[in-house]
Amino acid sequence: MAEIEIADMTFEQAMAALEQVVNQLERGEVALDQSIRLSERGALLKERCAELLKEAEERVEKITLGEGGVPKGTQPVEGL
């Protein structure tokens, strides 16, 4: 099965791949050059997760309440 490009990964795919990288590095059973490649891949995966989280944050809205607690609309959530 072909490996998915990081830029095409969903958040869940990127997190799973990042967990695999971390596990491999923590075991310490890889050669130095492979550790460097894994670290570089891990950094890219972390960036992808952060990008996807930011996109999700920008889409999240909170409900604003009017008189009597009746919803009157939405507004973007700030400062998450």
Q: What is the tens place of the pLDDT at every residue in 3-45?
A: 789 999 999 999 999 999 999 999 999 999 999 999 999 999 9
Q: Which residues, 6 or more positions from 77, have their beta carbon under 8 angstroms from its beta carbon?
A: 57, 60, 61, 62
pTM: 0.72
Question: Can you give the residue ranges of every domain in the chain?
Answer: 6-76
Q: CA–CA separation, 37 vs 29, rounded Å?
A: 14
Query: Mean of the pLDDT values across residues 40-67?
Result: 83
Q: Which residues, 6 or more positions from 78, have their beta carbon under 8 angstroms from its beta carbon?
A: none
Q: What is the tens place of the pLDDT at every residue in 68-78?
A: 766 666 665 65
- Look at residue 65 and tell me whether its pLDDT is greater than 90: no
Give the pLDDT of residue 21. 97
